[in-house]
Amino acid sequence: MKITRTDPLYAQAQLQRKQDAAPLAQSQSKPSQGDARISTTTQTINQARSQLASTSDVDMEKVNQIRQAISEGKLELDMDALSQAILDMHRR
SS3 for 58?
Answer: coil
Residue 18: inside a domain: no
Q: How many domains does the chain fold into?
A: 1
Residue 42: inside a domain: no
Residue 53: inside a domain: no
Residue 29: inside a domain: no
In whole angstroms, how far apart are CA 45 and each of 6, 11, 29, 37, 74? Answer: 22, 19, 19, 12, 38
Residue 77: inside a domain: yes
Q: What is the value of pTM for the model shown?
A: 0.35
Residue 68: inside a domain: yes
Give the angle subtended at the CA of 92 by the CAs of 55 and 9, to the nearest 5°. Answer: 45
Which residues constitute the domain of residue 84?
59-91
Higher pLDDT, 29 or 85: 85
Report how many helices (DSSP H) and strands (DSSP E) the chain contains, helices first.
4, 0
Residue 72: inside a domain: yes
Residue 46: inside a domain: no
For 11-45, the pLDDT digits (tens) are 666 666 666 666 655 555 555 555 556 788 888 99
